[in-house]
Amino acid sequence: KFCWLFADLETPATIEDKPAAGCPAGLRIAAGDGGEVWVDGTLQCRFDNDHPALVMVTEKAVPGRKVAVAVQVYKKVQGGEKFDEAAWTLIDPRRALGRVELGIDAAKLKGDVPDGIIGLSQGGGLADYEDATAERLKKGGFKWFRMDNILTGALKKDADGKLVHDWADLDRRVDFMAKAGTAPILAVSYMPEVLDAVPNPDRQSAPRDYALWEELCYQAAKRCLERGKRVPFWEVWNEVNSGWLKPGPQDTGGETFQRLYDEALGSHQADREIVRRYEAYCKLYRASARGILRADPTAKIGGPALASGPMEGGKDHGHCANGKGFARGLMLWCRQEKLPLDFVSWHEYFQSAEVIAKEADVFRDYLKEFPEFQRSVEHFMVTEWNEAWWPDRPQDHEVGAAYCADGVIRAFLPHGVDRPCFFYVKQNDPGFRGDYSMLMKDNVPKPTYHMAHIFNHLSGRWLEVTGGDDDVCAVAAWDEKKPRLAVVMVNFRYRHALRRTVQLNIDHLPDSLKSACWREWTVDATHSNVWNDRDKAELAMTRNGRVDGSFAWNGVSQPNSITLVELLPAVSAATDKP
């Protein structure tokens, strides 16, 4: 499902109204659902309309010289079927010809690397609950697993009209998470039909009786405890700020909730339906917390599982909806009712690392107004996260993986988001359709799986990394016990990423690594990439060598790429896994 466009392009004398001769020149390409660009028979990069390509054609333009360009354009998944951009451009010589320098002093240790950096998230049921899938996830190093939609079928009526529990789905999910070696984060949702306050086929109704909902949460937590599958984290509902909770007749938007919401917002909320929804969420949160803590007093409760960040929308934050009202509103409600708030949570897709970092900072600013919750909130969780919330081609190849890796380094790690949850785990077919999954049928990995595997296997202590720029960023970790020194480098720019020359220098190597080995593992357009070659989907080692007293790495980092460089003793380097 693609088409090709071929041309022998002649380098123009002027580009962007400037003389082109002797200048680095390239092409900017973007089209609906994306594609890839080839120059003189070599693949340069993949792209889509949100992450357009910047392709180097020549470091020194010669007007009149021809170059063979081929653009493969993917057919429609969800986006448009048109070119958004196709133009010659002059490239900043500092990007085109300059070198990105990264420096690491292995003697300067920082904080501990957490046990797991990226977790998992799933909405409805998994594609399968097979042992092989659980084992693949365990090898990926995932340590937590967030699931919503866990109570939708947990309460039913029997033939006599009596309410009875059905734990089959909940048990299956919790058992699978245990097999995969992950700790559960369960989002209490959605509403069993027998508890609907209003008819709703999407199971988004508030409960007709909050006491019955409290009892259901109590029984669910108790069930997990009795089966030896304790759930440490319970998240209350899912994306209520965007409308995923329908208030019932008893949720009237009364004076108490109008006052609280106005205080949270900092202005009057005239839309009564938003206040009614806020009231329903407050009552739901209270009932959920009370029920869960009756069964397990040590459980951690949090929310509000916002759809996007805790800002209010409008001109500056158009991707957010009612975020401030529900984020601060939950804090005000928990203070008034003396309810726990042990973590804050939200979802983010598509937005840049800069935006995600700001969202975390805004949550932190809100907490400063609530000293009791500033002390109690132990985790910042992005409980759904991926390159897009719609079917999108980059989620099948390296662009989606590089987007995620860039967010980990530039947003999650420096801004204290310690429970990011990749949405979602697995599709049940081998097709390329921009699916969110990191695993395909038969547990064939996409580049996003390798991205998570690389980060999740960092251990020991962080090392300070100097250098980098808007294209290239990196993190490094030293684990004395293994011993292993690992550096993860990412080349990603939200728009117009470019191949870059990189030099990495590591000073003051530990004695155990002064006569060791180094290995390079690469995820890019042609390596570790099922989209590029189904037979070469596994993580690929691309180079290796000996360490002789000191270490310097030089390479060309392709656009939308992830590079792992690890230094380790020769015995450890004999294995074929990073």
Written as six digits, the tokens of 239 are 């994306």
Q: Where are the alpha helices (DSSP H) in 74-119?
A: 93-96
Average pLDDT, the chain: 95
* Predicted confidence (pLDDT) per residue in 498-517, tens digit: 999 999 999 999 999 988 99
User: CB neighbours (10 Å) of residue 570?
Assistant: 11
* Predicted confidence (pLDDT) per residue in 180-204, tens digit: 999 999 999 999 999 999 999 999 9
pLDDT the model gives residue 573: 61
Can you tell me whether residue 153 is helix, strand or coil? coil
CA angle (349, 354, 359) in 5-degree steps: 65
pLDDT the model gives residue 515: 87
Q: Are 280 and 248 within 8 A, CB to CB?
A: yes
pLDDT the model gives residue 79: 64
* Predicted confidence (pLDDT) per residue in 344-355, tens digit: 999 999 999 999
* Predicted confidence (pLDDT) per residue in 214-232, tens digit: 999 999 999 999 999 999 9
Can you tell me whether residue 463 is helix, strand or coil? strand
Cross-strand partners of 396: none
pLDDT at 39 over 90: yes
**To the nearest whole percent, how much of the chain has pLDDT over 70?**
99
Burial annotation 248-272 (CB, 10 A radius, 16+ → b, else e): bebbebeeebbebbbebbeeebeee
**To the nearest whole percent, how much of the chain has pLDDT over 90?**
91
Confidence of residue 82 (pLDDT cuts 50, 70, 90): confident
User: CB neighbours (10 Å) of residue 81?
Assistant: 12
User: CB neighbours (10 Å) of residue 503?
Assistant: 14
pLDDT at 576 over 80: no
Written as six digits, the tokens of 184 are 């559960």
What is the number of H-type helices and E-type strands within the chain? 12, 28
pTM of structure:
0.96
φ/ψ of residue 464, rounded to 5 = -70, 135
- What CA–CA distances, in Å, run from 278 to 20, 209, 313, 321, 365? 59, 17, 17, 13, 21
Confidence of residue 1 (pLDDT cuts 50, 70, 90): confident
pLDDT the model gives residue 564: 98
Confidence of residue 80 (pLDDT cuts 50, 70, 90): low
Task: Give 208: exposed, middle or buried? Use CB within 10 Å, 0-12, 13-18, 19+.
Answer: middle
Q: What spatial distance separates the first Cα and last Cα of the chain, rounded to whole Å? A: 35
Lowest mean pLDDT, pick from 109-123, 191-205, 262-276, 562-576: 562-576
φ/ψ of residue 56, rounded to 5 = -75, 120
* Predicted confidence (pLDDT) per residue in 135-168, tens digit: 999 999 999 999 999 999 999 999 999 999 999 9
- What CA–CA distances, in Å, run from 168 to 153, 175, 497, 546? 9, 11, 47, 54
Distance of alpha carbon 371 from alpha carbon 331, whole angstroms: 11
pLDDT the model gives residue 420: 98
pLDDT the model gives residue 571: 66
Helix (H) or strand (E) holding 430: none
Q: Are 166 and 192 within 8 A, CB to CB?
A: no
* Predicted confidence (pLDDT) per residue in 382-418, tens digit: 999 999 999 899 999 999 999 999 999 999 999 999 9
* Predicted confidence (pLDDT) per residue in 455-495, tens digit: 999 999 999 999 999 999 999 999 999 999 999 999 999 99
pLDDT the model gives residue 545: 94
Distance of alpha carbon 295 from alpha carbon 154, whole angstroms: 17
Q: Are 91 and 56 within 8 A, CB to CB?
A: yes
* Predicted confidence (pLDDT) per residue in 281-312, tens digit: 999 999 999 999 999 999 999 999 999 999 99
CA angle (495, 563, 473) in 5-degree steps: 50
pLDDT the model gives residue 572: 64
